[in-house]
Structure 1
Amino acid sequence: MARRALILLEGLPRGNGLLYVQAAQRLGLHPITMSTDPAQYDYLAAERSEAIRVNTENLDALIHECSRMRATYDIAGITGFSGADESVYATVGKLCRHFDLPGPSPTSIERCCDKFTQRQLLAEAGIPIPAYRLAANAGDVESAAADIGLPVILKPAVGSGSSGVRLCRDVDELAEHTTYLLGGKHIWRSSPRMLVEEFAQGPFYSADIMGNEVIGICTADFGPPPHFLYRECTHPAPLTDDEHRRIADVSLSCLQALGLGWGPTNIEFRWTPRGPVVIEVNPRLAGGTGPRLVQLAYGVDPITEHIKLVIGDEWNLRKRHSHTATARILYPERDGILDWIDGDSRAAAVSGVAEVKLFVEPKTPIVRKADYRDRIGHVIAASPSLAQSEAILQRAVDFISWSITPFPNLRG
């Protein structure tokens, strides 16, 4: 009898690929990662997990490889483990349709990945969103910002992980970021299309959903503007029953408007004087520490339950406990060469700390990109109460330190 395999399509080197591999193995599956460059996932060798080099942007090549594998394996399911690239899931959906496997609607995923199309569909459904305009050039950006009123958010219409997203507080910042996006520094996969959006101000919340069920709602703080880098995330968010219900109701309306509702979705909000305003709908699991926080807070492992859904097994989102889990994301304060970084073992030894991860080694060059790639580590703590979890987290983070020597000024 052929061994049951789970195909994992591409992702991020610092994403949740390892958790998918481990969860698949626990479920008795043989995980096979398909990647343009498998070497970027260092855990594959450590886990002795199979990988196949293939151009993951070429659907025909992926179909060919999966067809070839069916001679050896029973392919139980296909999914992506990306934490911040929804386009992977559109490809996953197409592969699942081709091989008649459970999977998301590729059309719905593609509509959702285009932030302008997503905004249009949400607006048509009467869902509260920020004011927005589409722009293709500097003139469009300038007139859109004048219509909406500064400050505005300027970002690519297609993209993820906060890449190219910036708060523009005045005309100089707007011009500077427009030049950045259009001047060759930002990589466009297609012709440049930008969104100019009203800056919706208020507390940030994020709903984690599987199928049509809201598993939990977290809150997050960001580092200093003009960029949007997650600094701290907490599950569950301290909400009243009414606030929780309102966010959950809007979340389910988003799924309906966008044709989602199969598999994981992550929806970001700002709580404004209008109530919950939708910032973005991501047709995937939350990236980074998100799945781990959900597991620690509620006893539900969203990655395992996602895999069960993918392979057609019965899944279970029943909460097993109610704790507060909180994460601090670590960022470098400057560009340069990382001389040293330590304290992680002492941080991990603090009672109540669930995870400490450092992503960089000494002598690594640090060049900040103002997006998810800037993360150099994280610490996660969990306990029965918010105050206790925050205290544990701070105690652990205080143990971690590093030194960065700035690059030499070569201008003389």
Structure 2
Amino acid sequence: MQTIVFIGSNKSGTSREALSISTTMGYYTVLLTNRREFIKQEKEFPEVHQMVYVENLMDKEKIFSIINNLEEDRKQICAVISFIDPFVSFAARISKKLGLFQMSTDALEIIEEKTRFREHLKTLPVSPKFTIFQREKSIQQFVEENQRQLPLILKSPISNGSKDVLLVETYSELKEGLDYLNKKFPSIPVLIEEYLIGTQYLIEVIVKEGQISIVAVIEQEVLNGDRFIINGYCYPAVVENETLEELQIAVESIIQALELENGTCHLEMRLIEGKWKLIEINPRMSGGAMNRIIQEGTGINLIKETLKLYLGQDPYLEATKRTHVYAKFLTVSSRGRLIKVTGKTKALNYDGVKEVYVKPRKGAILTKPYSLGDRYAYVIASADTPEQAKEIALIASKEIKFYLEPF
């Protein structure tokens, strides 16, 4: 039986949706997970034919042992895939060892770690100013030498989903931020970048045999605060044709510099005084509701086309429709235990609303947002204009209310 093996998954979002799409495509779907609760909740994963607990998903010998067992059970391994950091390049290397379709493993590995891709791309015009704080340096001395560069962005090189990305604007914030990241990641350097103010865009890219396809350009709206939490997505981004052409050139320069011949990635870029600057790049398609946003706007099922790429097939990336889509994500302002959520059905009944999703269950502990994982619901709406789509999503989202018990 033709089989796809997935290394890691979240409970919802792109990585979870990929499991369902794999099964819909007719593949025997195997999930290797390091989350014990998933094994206990196995019945809640009806799309998964076989789930295996693996304490360390980077344990190559264990992964190959499981794959050997599957092959002995007459399962034909067609792809080994991960939509989860930091397993993307690891899964690609497993695929390579098995003689499956060869992804650009070296490029994916560079993209997975922020200091690596910054160093690799530092000569490109899209690269912002940055420096790397090595742990053996004196924090006090570094702060004194760099305080004139404030405001700055501090990042853990292995962070994702806006976790451990800090905006520091003062001397004391810079010192506290370095102290915080040093204590949390004692063996890892800190990436420090100039703070660029401008509209941020997300760009979804698929590359097959060196052919670069920009599937979607989406404007992101960032929640005010010292953490960079995206709470709104607008597809397609409203950008002048000339600016889009410059974006295409910038993206191609990045992909070519990384030597990404086969693979997917999403980039976050800001338009600064008419010039594109690279904020982030990740070696996979974006998580959350991204597949639904793109599918509502274009008809393209990007997860399905990504799976086809990993299977060695040609992705079909021609849009079958053109619609404006807005996704509104919801957060809470204080910590508490969830008593109930109301308004989901009301929100879904608004004309133009395509999906309403509420993530947490009763009893879950909710907090104000520190990462993208702290967004607890979303509303996706579509309409003939971007203004209409946004208005529908915003009005409908106001129906959703979280009732919390202080915790």
**TM category, shorter:** over 0.9
- Whether 1:70 aligns to 2:71 is yes
Residue ranges of structure 2 left out of the alignment (5+ in a row): none
Q: Report the counterpart of residue 286 of structure 1 in structure 2.
A: 286
Contact kept? 2:115, 2:132, Cα under 8 Å: yes
TM-score (norm: length of structure 2): 0.92
User: Cα gap change, 1:331/1:206 in structure 2, threshold over 3 Å: closer, same or farther?
Assistant: same
Shift of 1:105: 2.4
Percent of pairs identical after alignment?
A: 21
Residue ranges of structure 1 left out of the alignment (5+ in a row): 408-412
1:22-171 → structure 2 map (5 Å cutoff): 22-37=20-35, 39-40=37-38, 45-49=44-48, 50-54=50-54, 55-72=56-73, 73-82=75-84, 85=85, 87-124=86-123, 126-137=124-135, 138-139=139-140, 141-142=142-143, 145-146=146-147, 149-171=149-171
Give the partner amino acid of 1:27.
Answer: M
1:235-246 → structure 2 map (5 Å cutoff): 235-246=235-246
Shift of 1:368: 4.3
1:8-407 → structure 2 map (5 Å cutoff): 8-37=6-35, 39-40=37-38, 45-49=44-48, 50-54=50-54, 55-72=56-73, 73-82=75-84, 85=85, 87-124=86-123, 126-137=124-135, 138-139=139-140, 141-142=142-143, 145-146=146-147, 149-183=149-183, 186=184, 188=185, 191-211=187-207, 212-368=212-368, 370-407=370-407
Shift of 1:127: 3.2
Give the SS at the match of 2:122. helix
User: Cα gap change, 1:216/1:359 in structure 2, threshold over 3 Å: closer, same or farther?
Assistant: same
Give the SS at the match of 1:57. coil
Rounded to whole Å, the distance in 1 between the matches of 2:237 and 2:173 is 33
Rounded to whole Å, the distance in 2 between the matches of 1:99 and 1:143 is 52
User: Cα gap change, 1:38/1:326 in structure 2, threshold over 3 Å: closer, same or farther?
Assistant: farther
Contact kept? 1:265, 1:284, Cα under 8 Å: yes
Give the SS at the match of 2:29. strand
Shift of 1:294: 1.1
Rounded to whole Å, the distance in 2 between the matches of 1:393 and 1:103 is 41
Rounded to whole Å, the distance in 2 between the matches of 1:353 and 1:320 is 20
User: Cα gap change, 1:274/1:129 in structure 2, threshold over 3 Å: closer, same or farther?
Assistant: farther
Shift of 1:247: 1.1
Contact kept? 1:223, 1:230, Cα under 8 Å: yes
Shift of 1:338: 2.1
User: Cα gap change, 1:287/1:251 in structure 2, threshold over 3 Å: closer, same or farther?
Assistant: same
Contact kept? 2:104, 2:263, Cα under 8 Å: no
Rounded to whole Å, the distance in 1 between the matches of 2:29 and 2:98 is 17
Superposed CA RMSD: 1.9
The number of residue pairs the alignment matches comes to 396
TM-score (norm: length of structure 1): 0.91
Give the partner amino acid of 2:17.
Answer: L
Give the partner amino acid of 1:122.
Answer: L
Contact kept? 1:127, 1:254, Cα under 8 Å: no
Contact kept? 1:133, 1:144, Cα under 8 Å: no
Contact kept? 1:339, 1:403, Cα under 8 Å: yes
User: Cα gap change, 1:144/1:22 in structure 2, threshold over 3 Å: closer, same or farther?
Assistant: farther
